[in-house]
């Protein structure tokens, strides 16, 4: 501030204006003396409160419009600086003491609103959890109880077909086959709903299982289908151990491999590779195929319940990947699909690290 006031006066050699600026230092106890020098090093003016060296000696060039025009030298004492520092601290403390109760009083309505919002959110969370449990129970009961009348429909339809099918015309036979197919599809849908419901209630993972054992068990369940379609399956040899719920981890791999067996390019036998997945700190299992691949717009949708990216003529209900995703979430992991280099897809499921 001193340099800012002195600069123009020094530039135009206005000693009177410079002295008026220096006179403002009389009230500053920290200043002993100030000397202003021109560009030639000659003393232009000065201020002397105490003609002695101070505790601090300060020198700085004076610039005006980016041009050096002189220099200022200041001798200062600690006592004045400590007084000023103490005053600053006192002001801050006074502001804090005065503002704290005011802030507390003014924030009371906001604190009450926040507390109410937190309580309401907690009540909503409890209510939502209860609703989810009730919905899952209802889902289980309905899907379980509906299976019995469907069994009756299938049984009597089959009996009628055996005894009276030849007496129907072609249109009647077609309608009758549609009834049987719809009953079978409904039964499969209900079975998948039950599976999803059970997956959501699975116990926490507590077994340490080698990945190769999971793969072998899953392939054992699909042995007949693998032989039927003449599939080639390659299994890696370096699977780690996973902390999983063994039955459900196996169920997830069964669904991934079953999909790879179904969705193939026309005229080609399934070519499947199963290997460990270790990327970005995640650990799991990858099932890669050489099928037609998944369109980008379906890569997330196919993991939703009963959502499919292919024609309904391909057997299945569309619940398999939803089950895989549910198993992944229950293991604090993820499930997703990505394109495979050279064609096909890579389906990945990860599990929480042990």
The pLDDT, as a whole number, for residue 315 is: 59
- Residue pair 72/2 in contact (Cβ under 8 Å)? The answer is yes
For the stretch 30-73, pLDDT in tens is 788 888 898 888 888 888 887 777 677 888 888 877 788 888 88
**How does 16-37 read in b/e, with b if 16+ C-beta sit within 10 Å?**
eebeebbeeeeeeebbbbbbbb
The pLDDT, as a whole number, for residue 54 is: 66
The pLDDT, as a whole number, for residue 223 is: 93
- Residue pair 329/350 in contact (Cβ under 8 Å)? The answer is no
Measured in degrees and rounded to the nearest 5, phi and psi for residue 130 equal: -65, -45
The pLDDT, as a whole number, for residue 141 is: 66
Name the E strands within the chain.
Answer: 31-38, 43-48, 56-64, 67-76, 207-210, 232-235, 241-244, 271-279, 282-288, 335-339, 345-351
The pLDDT, as a whole number, for residue 228 is: 93
d(CA 61, CA 58): 10
The pLDDT, as a whole number, for residue 83 is: 65
The pLDDT, as a whole number, for residue 260 is: 93
Which residues fall within 8 angstroms of residue 63, CB to CB, at 6 or more apart? 7, 69
Task: Render each residue's pLDDT in the chain as its tens digit; 354 residues.
Answer: 677 777 777 777 878 888 888 887 777 777 888 888 988 888 888 888 877 776 778 888 888 777 888 888 888 876 655 666 677 778 778 877 777 777 767 677 777 877 787 787 777 777 766 666 666 666 666 666 676 777 788 788 888 888 888 888 888 888 888 888 888 878 777 777 777 777 777 777 778 999 999 999 999 999 999 999 999 999 998 899 999 988 899 999 999 999 999 888 888 999 999 999 998 889 999 999 999 988 988 888 888 876 655 554 555 567 788 889 989 998 999 999 999 998 999 999 999 875
């Amino acid at each position: 501030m001193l340099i800012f006031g002195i600069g123009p006066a020094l530039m135009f050699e206005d000693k009177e204006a410079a002295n008026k600026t220096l006179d403002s230092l009389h009230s500053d106890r920290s200043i002993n003396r100030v000397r202003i020098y021109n560009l030639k090093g000659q003393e232009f003016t000065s201020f002397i409160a105490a003609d002695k060296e101070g505790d601090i000696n300060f020198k700085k060039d004076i610039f005006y419009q980016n041009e050096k025009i002189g220099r200022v030298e200041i001798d200062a004492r600690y006592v004045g600086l400590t007084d000023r520092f103490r005053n600053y601290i006192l002001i801050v403390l006074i502001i804090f003491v005065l503002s704290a109760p005011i802030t507390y009083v003014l924030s009371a309505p906001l604190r009450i609103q926040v507390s109410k919002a937190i309580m309401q959110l907690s009540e909503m969370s409890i209510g939502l959890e209860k609703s989810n449990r009730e919905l899952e129970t209802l889902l289980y009961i309905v899907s379980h109880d509906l299976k019995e009348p469907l069994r009756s429909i299938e049984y009597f339809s089959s009996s009628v077909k055996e005894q009276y099918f030849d007496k129907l015309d072609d249109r009647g036979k077609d309608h009758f086959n549609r009834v049987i197919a719809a009953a079978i599809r409904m039964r499969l849908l209900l079975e998948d709903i039950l599976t999803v419901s059970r997956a959501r209630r699975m116990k926490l993972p507590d077994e340490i299982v080698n990945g190769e054992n999971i793969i072998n068990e899953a392939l054992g369940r699909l042995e007949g289908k693998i032989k039927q379609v003449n599939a080639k399956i390659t299994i890696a040899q370096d699977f780690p151990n996973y902390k999983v719920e063994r039955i459900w981890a196996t169920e997830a791999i069964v669904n991934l491999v079953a999909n790879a067996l179904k969705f193939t390019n026309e005229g080609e036998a399934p070519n499947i590779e199963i290997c460990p997945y270790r990327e970005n700190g995640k650990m799991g299992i990858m099932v890669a195929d050489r099928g037609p691949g998944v369109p980008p717009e379906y890569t997330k949708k196919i993991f939703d319940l009963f959502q499919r990216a292919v024609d309904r003529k391909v057997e299945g209900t569309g619940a398999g990947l939803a089950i895989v995703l549910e198993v992944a979430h229950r293991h604090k992991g993820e499930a997703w699909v990505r394109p495979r280099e050279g064609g096909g897809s890579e389906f990945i499921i990860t599990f929480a690290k042990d």
